[in-house]
Copies of this chain bind each other. A is one copy, B any other.
Amino acid sequence: MSRLNSFIRRMSAQRDCLNTAAELLEGKNGPVLEFGLGNGRTYDHLRSLFNASDIYVFDRHVKAHPDCIPDDHHMILGDILETLPVALSRIGGLAKFAHCDIGTGDKASSVALARKMGEYLNGLLQEGALIASDQPFDMDNWTACPLPDGVAEGRYHIYRKN
């Protein structure tokens, strides 16, 4: 498969998983955590699904389209392995959803980052919270959820915190 086709499938899988998570979480309160601002496209999509005032974005730097940048309070700058463990006071409560688009192209280091993030992230999530991720997580108290139609197993992941 060409890289263009593979990319379109990955972007579509991401969008479909975010939409599915938002439907499943309808009516629930709590912060939404976005790991990786990038160009801001996915943050913009999250704003179409959740209240912008609930969304906190973690990234090392801000390189997004000017229309897709959270305000200073909602943009948590730095290495996520350093900002995540101390983020609770900033986000103000346990989160209902986390989206982790943390792959770097280097599979081994991406999986290792997910492994390191897991415990910290778990501590920020409420019971019943959902996690959508481009990387697999291996957490005892997270259950893999069914993927939306058309999303192949392993292309994206949705978990529920028990």
A5 at the interface (CB under 8 A from B): yes
Chain B hits for A68, CB < 8 A: 3
Chain A contact residue count (CB 8 A cutoff): 20
In the complex, per-residue mask of A6-50: 1 if CB is within 8 Å of any chain B CB, else 0: 011001101100000000000000000000000011101101100
Q: For A4, A5, A12, which residue has the most chain B Cβ atoms within 10 angstroms?
A: A4
* Minimal beta-carbon separation of A49 from chain B (angstroms): 8
The answer to whether A44 and B11 have CB atoms under 8 Å apart is no
Chain B hits for A41, CB < 8 A: 2-4, 7
Contact of A47 among B2, B11, B12 (CB under 8 A): B2
The answer to whether B15 and A4 have CB atoms under 8 Å apart is yes
